[in-house]
Amino acid sequence: MKSTYLPPAAYLAFAVYVWIDFTHTAPDGLGNLGLLLATFPGAVMGVALTWALGQTGFVLIPSGLGYYTAHAVYFCPAALVTAYLVYVVCSAPGWVWRRVVRARRTRT
């Protein structure tokens, strides 16, 4: 049971590190790359939405807010969704195993 919670917790610790590193970089655009790589599933969805809507800027990072605020609006939910996806992937083998065991019990 603990093994399903360890990878998402490790990812969230990594996400906190990425955010702290981002706040210490110059706002030149390369810091954005680290945020987007750390939240790869969210970044893929954002690129797809940007392309589908025909926008020139990344649609998941809102404009009109401060630099760090706008990036936090993207990064915090994206990091939480990514941690949840890591949890689902890590707990899927347990779900499958329990289903197989339950199916064997009902057959006998």
**Residue ranges of the domains in the chain?**
2-107
pLDDT of residue 108: 61
pLDDT of residue 1: 56
**Under-70 pLDDT residues of the chain:** 1-2, 108
**pTM score of the predicted model:** 0.81
pLDDT of residue 38: 92
Helix (H, G, I), strand (E, B) or coil at 65: coil
pLDDT of residue 20: 93
Contact 66, 79 (CB under 8 A): no
DSSP state of 24: T
- Report d(CA 101, CA 39) in Å as an integer: 35
